[in-house]
């Protein structure tokens, strides 16, 4: 396994494989790797000659004021702290080594966003709803960094998790719209035995909070059960989910939405190709989860 | 020479050359080819194994309301007509054939911007000044289509004309910021014997208007002469240019600016790395020209 920290080094290195027509599988991550990432890496390993994992905590997707954060100024309320995000880099590297990753790419912020950086990729409409509402600029940051990473790595296949459903939908749309020559593969959400969707942010949770956090997956299970019992009204399903979650005093609902999976517009009547997605603040930690109907 | 009209065909076709490590030179155009394009194509021919020319009148860069235009609704004032843009396709193809172009790519609007298209590339700050002021959305359209075309063709080198100075600067910034693996080469403006910068839009001009249009290059020559004679004050130079142009009654100045070549911000004192750029409406035709000091 080769660890590369510089843009200038990775580009010619990977180009060699492209010329030899070797397929490249790419798993872009923000590190703090868990079993969700594992499923992406294993799928990449299975389907490609070369596997590249990037670990980069992307400041631009932490909101428009991320520069404040990196400059150690007061944190604007409502924005997650870019500095606080976990970075267990040694653990992540041994994780990758164990899984037979060929290249780990660890770019530096200054090389990814040099002075004078001015270019952003925007996926309109899809970026303003669900998580985009409470995290302005977030998906612009995601779309921009993913475009950059796909251009740097030039993968045949790139792997994302269904846990970040909106992100996956936006990236698929973007790759199609910009004709980026990569296939986007979305792997199912991996859950703990208790049902909690795996997330790097789960490490923020206390033991008590982790128990409260189970309301996310439980409310989705409730939704699925209601729909199985022929409930078609989105309003009704959302109300039941809301009531379940509100029983936990420490849980603060950001949103619960049932939307069309390609437009992300709310639906009134639940049918095929619906995404049920929610975001809930548990203590100081914002968690998301979703299912597709 | 192979003419390709479909995205699905060109991608696997060009991929074959990439795998064989052949270099690809790319000249993206809107057609109505003239000697300015010729210099780009010849440079591409000289420096690459394969030369690809695209001809695509990009609706998105004609302003935010281009859909109206393509739907034959009344033209919003101030916007150039997307339909009016010249499309002498047979002449263009024989032009390319004569120059030894390998592939001409003629994509369709519906394939480039299919239903549900939502992704745009924005180069901030650089897109809002000079031509960006009077053509809102123009450079967003340019940045988006160039990103798409570079992703489709995957060239080693892509060629642009200095005549569209702001476009060249924006594209260079964008390619750097998004890590697009192509080198951008900017070739000098080609002029007629009378000094008029070659442009596809010159075909709009009547004989009388063409004579009036010479004020653009003449005002730039005046600026160069003034600067040679040690005039350093941007304000003074702009005033002299303005006075020269205003002598022509049919000439309506859109802007005359002297800016830093990398930030496009106005300078007070003229030094190295300045761009003197102007846009002037001659009758119904908007023309641009520039020089670098």
**From CA B152, how far away is CA B146, in angstroms rounded?**
10
CA distance A156 to chain B (A): 12
> Is residue A134 within 8 Å of residue A255, measured between CB atoms?
yes
B28 CB neighbours in chain A (<8 A) are none
**From CA A279, how far away is CA A241, in angstroms rounded?**
12
pLDDT average, residue stretch B12-17:
92
A143 CB neighbours in chain B (<8 A) are 119
Residue ranges covered by each domain of chain B: 2-187, 200-292
Provide the 10 A C-beta neighbour count for residue A189.
21
With cut-offs at 50, 70 and 90, classify the pLDDT of residue B63: low
With cut-offs at 50, 70 and 90, classify the pLDDT of residue B83: confident
Q: Over 90: is that where the pLDDT of B19 sits? A: no
Give per-residue pLDDT as tens, A249-290. Answer: 999 999 999 999 999 999 999 998 999 999 999 998 999 999
CATH number of A200-292: 3.30.1300.10
Between B37 and B67, where is the model more confident? B37
Between A45 and A72, where is the model more confident? A45
Write down the pTM of the prediction: 0.94
Q: Over 90: is that where the pLDDT of B81 sits? A: no
Tokens for A225? 């059960």
Q: Find, among B90, B97, B107, the residue nearest to B51 by Cα.
A: B97
CA B200 to chain centre: 10
CA distance A245 to chain B (A): 34
Q: How far is CA A89 from CA A30, A31, A83, A134, in A?
A: 10, 7, 14, 29
B106-135 residues touching A, CB cutoff 8 A? 116-126
**From CA A278, how far away is CA A267, in angstroms rounded?**
15
CA distance B56 to chain A (A): 16
Question: Would you state the pLDDT for residue B134?
Answer: 87
Instruction: Identify the DSSP state of B103.
Output: E
Is the CB of residue B54 less than 8 Å away from at least one CB of chain A? Answer: no
- How many helices (H) and strands (E) chain A has is answered by 11, 10
Contact B178 A143 (CB under 8 A): no
Tokens for B91? 């002449």
End-to-end CA distance of chain B, in Å? 39
Contact B121 A120 (CB under 8 A): yes
Q: Over 90: is that where the pLDDT of B20 sits? A: no
Tokens for A64? 């428009």
**Could you list the active site residues of A?**
37
What sign does the CA torsion over A169, A174, A177, A182 have?
A: negative
pLDDT average, residue stretch A174-190:
98
Provide the 10 A C-beta neighbour count for residue A262.
13
With cut-offs at 50, 70 and 90, classify the pLDDT of residue A76: very low
Q: Over 50: is that where the pLDDT of A72 sits? A: no
Is A215 buried (19+), middle (13-18) or exposed (0-12) by CB count in 10 A?
buried
Contact A173 B124 (CB under 8 A): no
CA atoms within 13 A on the CB side of A114: 10
- Residue among B18, B19, B122 whose CB faces A119 most closely: B122
Contact B178 A148 (CB under 8 A): yes
CA distance A285 to chain B (A): 30
Tokens for B253? 């100045």
Contact B173 A116 (CB under 8 A): yes
**From CA B139, how far away is CA B147, in angstroms rounded?**
12
CA distance B50 to chain A (A): 16
Give per-residue pLDDT as tens, B218-268. Answer: 999 999 999 999 999 999 999 999 999 999 999 999 999 999 999 999 999
- Residue among B19, B125, B151 whose CB faces A118 most closely: B125
With cut-offs at 50, 70 and 90, classify the pLDDT of residue A75: very low
Question: Would you state the pLDDT for residue A82?
Answer: 83
Contacts of A215 (CB under 8 A, 6+ apart): A244, A245, A247, A248, A251, A280
Is the CB of residue B182 less than 8 Å away from at least one CB of chain A? Answer: no
Instruction: Identify the DSSP state of B60.
Output: G
Question: Would you state the pLDDT for residue A134?
Answer: 87
**From CA A94, how far away is CA A89, in angstroms rounded?**
9
Q: Find, among A106, A145, A138, the residue nearest to B179 by Cα.
A: A145
**From CA A238, how far away is CA A241, in angstroms rounded?**
5
**Which residue of B177, B181, B260, B263 to mutate against A (max A Cβ within 10 Å)?**
B177
CA atoms within 13 A on the CB side of B150: 26
CA distance A180 to chain B (A): 5
Q: Over 70: is that where the pLDDT of A73 sits? A: no
Q: Over 90: is that where the pLDDT of A77 sits? A: no
**Could you list the active site residues of B?**
37
Question: Would you state the pLDDT for residue B35?
Answer: 97
**From CA B206, how far away is CA B221, in angstroms rounded?**
23
Contacts of B202 (CB under 8 A, 6+ apart): B34, B196, B210, B213, B287
CA A55 to chain centre: 13
- Looking at every residue in chain B, the average pLDDT score rounds to 93
- Residue among A119, A122, A179 whose CB faces B178 most closely: A119
Helix (H, G, I), strand (E, B) or coil at B17: helix
With cut-offs at 50, 70 and 90, classify the pLDDT of residue A102: very high
What burial letters (b/e) apply to B35-72, b meaning 16+ CB within 10 Å?
Answer: ebbbbbbbbbbeebebbbbbbbbbbbbbbeebeebeee
Q: How far is CA B106 from CA B30, B55, B89, in A?
A: 10, 5, 10
What sign does the CA torsion over B42, A16, A181, B8 have?
A: positive
- Residue among A19, A125, A148 whose CB faces B179 most closely: A148
**From CA A56, how far away is CA B28, in angstroms rounded?**
34
Question: Would you state the pLDDT for residue A83?
Answer: 81
- Residue among A126, A152, A178 whose CB faces B151 most closely: A178
Question: By percentage, how much of chain B surpasses pLDDT 90?
Answer: 87
Question: Would you state the pLDDT for residue A19?
Answer: 83
**From CA B181, how far away is CA B156, in angstroms rounded?**
7
**From CA A243, how far away is CA A202, in angstroms rounded?**
23
> Which architecture, in CATH terms, is B2-187?
3-Layer(aba) Sandwich (3.40)
> Is residue B74 within 8 Å of residue B31, measured between CB atoms?
no
Q: How many beta-carbon contacts under 8 Å exist across A and B?
A: 82
Give per-residue pLDDT as tens, B113-161. Answer: 999 999 999 999 999 999 999 888 899 999 999 999 999 999 999 999 9
Q: Find, among A140, A78, A88, A145, the residue nearest to A111 by Cα.
A: A145
Q: How far is CA A9 from CA A2, A13, A107, B182, B255, in A?
A: 11, 6, 11, 16, 44
Give per-residue pLDDT as tens, A188-235. Answer: 999 999 999 999 999 999 999 999 999 999 999 999 999 999 999 999
Contacts of B4 (CB under 8 A, 6+ apart): B10, B13, B103, B104, B105, B106
Please report how the helices A138-153 and A165-177 are oriented relative to each other, as an axis angle in degrees rounded to 10: 60
Q: Over 60: is that where the pLDDT of A177 sits? A: yes
Is the CB of residue B172 less than 8 Å away from at least one CB of chain A? Answer: no
Contact A180 B151 (CB under 8 A): yes
Question: Would you state the pLDDT for residue A80?
Answer: 61
Question: Would you state the pLDDT for residue A20?
Answer: 87
Question: By percentage, how much of chain B surpasses pLDDT 70?
Answer: 94
pLDDT average, residue stretch A65-73:
43
ipTM value: 0.94
Contact A173 B7 (CB under 8 A): no
pLDDT average, residue stretch B44-49:
98
Is the CB of residue A147 less than 8 Å away from at least one CB of chain B? Answer: yes
- Residue among A117, A125, A262 whose CB faces B177 most closely: A117
A229-258 residues touching B, CB cutoff 8 A? none
CA atoms within 13 A on the CB side of B18: 23
Q: Over 70: is that where the pLDDT of A100 sits? A: yes
């Amino acid at each position: 396994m080769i660890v590369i920290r510089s843009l200038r080094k990775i580009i010619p290195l990977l180009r060699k494989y492209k010329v030899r027509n070797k397929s490249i599988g790419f798993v872009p991550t923000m590190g703090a790797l868990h079993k969700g990432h594992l499923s992406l890496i294993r799928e990449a390993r299975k389907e490609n000659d070369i596997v590249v994992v990037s670990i980069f905590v992307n400041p631009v997707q932490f909101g428009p004021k991320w520069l404040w954060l990196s400059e150690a100024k007061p944190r604007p309320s409502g924005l997650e702290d870019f500095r606080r995000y976990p970075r267990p880099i040694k653990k992540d590297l041994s994780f990758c080594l164990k899984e037979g990753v060929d290249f780990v790419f660890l770019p530096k912020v200054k090389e990814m966003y040099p002075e004078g950086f001015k270019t952003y990729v925007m996926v309109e409409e899809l970026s303003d709803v669900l998580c985009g509402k409470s995290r302005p600029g977030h998906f612009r940051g995601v779309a921009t960094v993913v475009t950059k990473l796909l251009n740097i790595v030039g993968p045949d296949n790139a792997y994302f998790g269904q846990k970040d459903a909106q992100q996956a939908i936006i990236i698929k749309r973007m790759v199609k719209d910009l004709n980026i020559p990569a296939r986007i593969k979305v792997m199912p959400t991996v859950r703990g035995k208790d049902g909690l969707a795996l997330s790097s942010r789960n490490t923020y949770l206390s033991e008590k909070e982790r128990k409260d956090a189970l309301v996310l997956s439980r409310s989705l299970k409730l939704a699925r059960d209601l729909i199985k019992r022929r409930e078609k009204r989105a309003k009704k399903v959302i109300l039941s989910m809301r009531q379940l979650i509100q029983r936990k005093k420490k849980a603060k609902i950001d949103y619960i939405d049932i939307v069309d999976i390609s437009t992300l517009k709310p639906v009134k009547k639940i049918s095929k190709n619906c995404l049920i997605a929610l975001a809930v603040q548990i203590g100081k930690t914002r968690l998301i989860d979703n299912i597709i109907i």
